[in-house]
Structure 1
Amino acid sequence: MQLAIDGGKPVFEKPANVLPWPPVFPEVIKKLKEIYLSRKWSFYGPREVEFNRRFAEYTGAAGCALMANGTVTLEMAMLALGIGPGDEVIVPAHTWIATGESVVYRGATPVIVDIENDTLCMDPERFEEAITPKTKAVIPVHLFGSMADMDRILPIARKHGIAVIEDCAHAHGGEWDGRHVGTLGDVGSFSFQQSKTMSSGEGGACITSNEELNETLGRLSHIGYQYAAKQGQAGTPPPTGLICRNYRVTEFQAELLLAQLDRLKADTLLRAKNAEFIRARLNTIPGVRVQAPGRKATLQSYYKFVIMIDPAVLRPGLTRQNVLEALSAEGIPVGIGWSGVMYRQKLWSIPANMYRIASSENAERIVQNELLTSDLNWLMLSEEETELYCQAFEKVLAAYSR
């Protein structure tokens, strides 16, 4: 069958019915107007208070602290846990730059370790090998919605007295053995940036099962004001012993998040259902493998759908880029994720003497040569279009394989 890139008929003869992201809900427009007219746009507004309460309830956490973005949430988590200059924090080799750079913002040193070959999340063995007397925390990233192996990471961390900060920027709605991600470690950090499964344009949140830690996180992001206040009454700012910041969100952002929280479970289940259908099909293609879910994932979020193609199965002279271009011609615009592993990304600005690479072999190989990604809304197609998605991969790989 002739490929579309060579003049054949594309699998998607008309554009797929992909839901624009982030989604727009007409009923939210009215609520945003109400906020505008109320003149209560920030500072312990009722919607911020409500979101903190409801997101904590949804995740099963003791508390939630909304913040300005998913980078400061990581930084504030480390500040609340007492991590600073002279300390080391272990992070995975493949993640967005914010995971490592937030460590540097605290004056600590990111120690980079390799990822697993299947989940693409932090390898627990490499984590343990990288521990030194200076190690104070580990940040396992639930990458693209898959989940780091918390059943192995947590005991290692406890044995060495290391704090665990879960980077859940890609994993809203995900569950590990029935528990929502972010509630297994000391702190869970979420991002609500433009492309995330829950979005307020920018925004973030920390959740924790420790009420005292939740109070500290809230104070840190609200210039020290008492955080457990009710009905939006901030009270007085008692001393905390910490230099606090102003990382508040607006009521407009909180309203956007409340609307999406109502839909999070249904959207997560839909993406998981379609992802499993696609996984079963694509994993039968020689040389193709789909990112594995967390080993005890009872519900996976799927921020991206990730496919890896072994270059050895392609005809001589062909690369991942050829596959990407052929799929695009068939009607599926896939990408390669970020421009490289964390410390090779174009926006990574940390000098080499301020971080340490302990291991990164899997990450380097997979990211540079194998990885392809589809955005989350491609997992929200109809059954008919999900079938076409599979057919496009099957068509291109049949033509390009040896």
Structure 2
Amino acid sequence: MRIFTLKGIQHIQELQFLTDSSGLVLDQGGHLYRFRGNATEVIVTPPSFIVSQFHFVDEAYGAIIGHSHPLPIQEGAFGFTGLGLLLVLCLCLGYSKPKVKAHRWVIGALCLALAGFVASCGTAWQQYRLLSTESAYATLLTRPLLRPGGYHAYPANKGLHSFIAITNTRGATWNVQTLPTTFYASALTAIGHNFLVGTYANPYEGRSTLHADGDIWIYGNDTTYSKDLRANSWPRHYGVEVKRGIRGFSLSPDSSRLLVFGSDRMPAIPKDELNSTAGNIFVLPVSLQPNYTLLDVPDTLEVCSLTQATNRDLWVVLDNKKTRKTKGHLSYYALPSKTLLRFQHGQWLKPAFPAGYSAEQVVFVPGTRNGYVLTTTGEVVETNDNGDSWHTLALQGIRRIQSWQQQLVLVKQHNQLVLGSPSSTN
């Protein structure tokens, strides 16, 4: 067990070990630091945006994501705006007597809208959706989703700019690019030397209407896992439509699959296999080619933490807030606690977990039978048998847990990192 107290850091928000004594941390203010032992140094990041997450492949090659200060946002969503425009056009036709030549664009717009509606009633997309023979909660999707993407806007987020910046010089220089969307950049990981950015249209209550839509945008030309990415470049970056808000990424222990987790589907027109299939967890091969799997949890709650044990069981923490519509406005309402679930043999199960605890995060250490749950009160509960039994450790003041190689990492208090077996930590 090793303990690092990072000098000059007020509040660790994100961290990544690169060796057993060095790595990077991001503080609550969006400042990125490199640490070696207890010593830290600031990494100067681009001034055009506030850093929210980072991921480094090695000490030199890494990426950061974030967003600008958002402008005042009006409420509304694309679906509502589109229907509202259609209604206005109908009113124009019904209650005015314009010259036909002057308003051919109105008729054209109505024809396009009608064509879109008719297309949404089609069922051809159903051939790409297959029920899994292994679980009633799983659905297989067979149509390729990796393709060059266009701009994806959420009008209620007008003025929001999300960014990615990539360095191969240990942060000495950065290549900054604006994401082709007005969604929030919500997750970051790498497959090979390609960075994947997950987005969430709007998970934040108050500024604009909640909207659980999202995509994966890909930056890089590493063809190790997908030859298609040879052509991946600005301004037509490749991406994967997800059509649900992304909270995070998790690689399977054997690094063969990417698990994308967050909200359930975002219903939309026209219908397709993505927006018509329930599922909070989207499982993709690292090739990003089919078959894909959508895995549904038995509730409409969002998955806020996910890990896979060495025995291939999935473990998730469900958030303790749901959305509801009041007077046409979506808002959150709180539940008593977050829920820990285990996916085993095709079924979701409630584990034999000590009573009285609410889970915040769940992590299983690759290559071991050890798993850990961080509670909302800063305590840690451990299993040494892949989750069959759990016991509480003598730990307090823990704010975050994650794994590095075959070890557990704890963030303790505001600026302390603990690497190694927590059983001996006081």
Report the TM-score range of the alignment, normalised by the length of the smaller protein.
under 0.3
Higher-Rg member (1/2): 2
Q: Which structure has more RCO (C-alpha within 8 Å, separation ≥ 6)?
A: 1
Q: Write 1 or 2 for the structure with the bigger share of helix.
A: 1
TM-score after normalising by structure 2: 0.22
TM-score after normalising by structure 1: 0.23
Q: Write 1 or 2 for the structure with the bigger share of strand.
A: 2
